[in-house]
Amino acid sequence: MNVANVVQLLAGASWLIVIGAVVIAGLTLARGGKVGGMVPLVIGAVVLALVLNVTAAGLVFIEPQERVVVISAIQPRGYREQALEPGLQWIVPFVESVRTYSISRQTYTMSRVTSEGEVQGDDSIEARTSDGQQVNIDASVIYQVDPAKVVDLHIIWQGGYEAGVIRPLSRSAIRDVASQYGVEQIVTSKRVEFVAEVTEQIAATLAKNNLLLVDFLLRDIKFTEQYAEAVEQKQIAEQLAQQAQFVVEQRKQEAEQARQVAEGQADAAVIASKAKAEALVIQAKAEAEARLLQAGAEATALKQIAEALNDNPDLIQYTYVQKLGSNVQVMLVPSNSPYLFNLPETPTAPATAPTTPE
């Protein structure tokens, strides 16, 4: 409770005091008493009541979210040119009156839902798009009174700025901007641009009428039943097309996967074949080198055997005898084969003629 309210309560109570004093004086007079002592009491109560009421009429307490326009009978123009600021203010009693305006943010909603809009019933904005389609738009305008222009607002609109400015100018701006866009653009690709243009146009219009636009909200867009059905059919067709495209892409991916698997298997077979061929080549090289080494070793051995036989011709016979079994006593050889051993040469006796006995 502020000071102005307290003074107003006291002013109201002062008249009760005046009435009480008058009643007491009347009772005293009725009983035959002297009322001389009661007169000062009544006059004092009346004076107190007048002072309190005059004071209460001149005190105005203004809340922080308010501005007050003073209507004055003593001003040349009939009003004070500056609105009263928040706090406890004084006006001339009985010749000046006040009109309070809130500078807080306010919302004006236009909706087809009965319980949401400022106007009961369907209050959505009916508009035509550039392609001739009818749409019903639900919107909200968040605004506030310009604190620096409260007096001008009062002079032009007084308390009728919602019905005279907010509602008609907002609806007009929405219709004007909607006529520049196709219905699909408003809903999808150009929705942000649409809202931005409407916001700019409403802000400019409100500023000319001493109001400030805080924000514009595009709440909903409703189509006609025919167009909604057409959009639904289109969406179904697009979904089917997307599903078919998805199946095609899936088949492509499966085919690509199969191709990659086959390619991988072919690459693996080629690598395995190359590895096997390289292994065979390495094995062949190793076998050839082994044969060369073996042939070299054999040649060296034969060379050494030949040199040994050349130095010791009887070595082969000795080796042969070593290989014979220990139980061999008689060995037959073909008649046309040479002897294995060189038989010692035995001298032959000269042949003599037989003598005949005498």
Q: Answer whether residue 199 shows pLDDT above 90.
A: yes
Q: Which domains does the chain have, with CATH numbers?
A: 3-100 (no CATH), 106-223 (3.30.479.30)
329-347 average pLDDT score: 55
What is d(CA 224, CA 209) in angstroms, rounded to the nearest whole number?
35
The pLDDT of residue 323 is: 66
The pLDDT of residue 347 is: 52
Structure tokens belonging to residue 82: 């500056």
Work out the percent of the chain whose per-residue pLDDT is above 70.
84
Each residue's pLDDT tens digit, 214-264: 999 998 888 877 776 666 677 677 777 888 888 888 888 888 888 888 888
The pLDDT of residue 262 is: 83
Q: Answer whether residue 350 shows pLDDT above 70.
A: no
314-322 average pLDDT score: 69
91-119 average pLDDT score: 88
Mean of the per-residue pLDDT values of the chain: 81
The pLDDT of residue 358 is: 39
The pLDDT of residue 35 is: 59
Confidence band, pLDDT 50/70/90 cuts, at residue 343: very low
Q: Would you say 178 and 187 are in contact if contact means Cβ atoms under 8 Å apart?
A: no
Structure tokens belonging to residue 72: 């004055």
Range with lowest mean pLDDT among 19-28, 100-109, 205-214, 330-339: 330-339
The pLDDT of residue 166 is: 92
Q: Would you say 165 and 209 are in contact if contact means Cβ atoms under 8 Å apart?
A: yes
Confidence band, pLDDT 50/70/90 cuts, at residue 337: low
E strand or H helix that includes residue 296: helix 225-311
Q: Would you say 70 and 80 are in contact if contact means Cβ atoms under 8 Å apart?
A: yes
Range with lowest mean pLDDT among 18-32, 163-177, 271-285: 18-32
The pLDDT of residue 197 is: 94
Confidence band, pLDDT 50/70/90 cuts, at residue 112: confident
End-to-end CA distance of the chain: 201
How many residues appear in the chain? 358
E strand or H helix that includes residue 128: strand 125-128
Each residue's pLDDT tens digit, 153-169: 999 988 888 989 999 99
Alpha helices in 31-166 (DSSP H): 38-58, 150-156, 161
E strand or H helix that includes residue 204: helix 191-208
| Alpha-carbon distances, residue 311 vs 243, 291, 304, 308 (angstroms) | 100, 29, 11, 5
The pLDDT of residue 187 is: 82
79-84 average pLDDT score: 89
The pLDDT of residue 256 is: 84
**Main-chain dihedrals φ then ψ at residue 255, nearest 5 degrees:** -65, -40
The pLDDT of residue 108 is: 93
What is d(CA 347, CA 286) in angstroms, rounded to the nearest whole number?
61
Work out the percent of the chain whose per-residue pLDDT is above 90.
22
Confidence band, pLDDT 50/70/90 cuts, at residue 37: low
The pLDDT of residue 335 is: 60
191-210 average pLDDT score: 93
The pLDDT of residue 244 is: 81
Q: Would you say 129 and 179 are in contact if contact means Cβ atoms under 8 Å apart?
A: yes
